[in-house]
């Protein structure tokens, strides 16, 4: 599966520390390399989106035509708003 990161998600990632950036990117790559990355995700209510949890961060994404679109990366307290 391929991964595309939206501009907004790239900006969110750039604001993080180097350690958190690496941790999040490594985890996204791990999930996407699996045969069914959705098994590691939780669906978001009322949409076709899912989320991965990486520590205190939530990675919101959508799967379209075997492409994982990363929509946002936010701290847990900000993502729930």
Domains defined for the chain, CATH in brackets: 2-79 (3.30.2310.20)
Residue 81 has pLDDT above 90, yes or no: no
> Nearest-CA neighbor of 25 among 51, 59, 48?
59
Residue 80's pLDDT is 63
The token pair at 37 is 């990355």
> Nearest-CA neighbor of 24 among 80, 75, 78, 79?
75
Q: What is the pTM of this model?
A: 0.86
Report the alpha-carbon distance of residue 12 to residue 71 in Å, rounded.
10
Tell me the per-residue pLDDT of 16-70, one tens digit each, with 9 for 90 and over.
999 999 999 999 999 999 988 889 899 998 888 999 999 999 999 999 988 999 9
Report the alpha-carbon distance of residue 48 to residue 17 in Å, rounded.
30
């Amino acid at each position: 599966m391929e991964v595309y990161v939206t501009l907004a998600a790239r900006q969110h990632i750039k604001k993080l520390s180097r350690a958190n950036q690496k941790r999040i990117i490594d985890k996204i790559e791990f999930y996407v390399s699996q045969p069914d990355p959705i098994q590691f995700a939780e669906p978001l209510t009322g949409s076709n989106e899912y989320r991965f949890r990486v520590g205190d961060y939530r990675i919101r994404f959508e799967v379209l035509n075997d492409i994982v679109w990363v929509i946002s990366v936010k701290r847990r307290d900000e993502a729930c708003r």
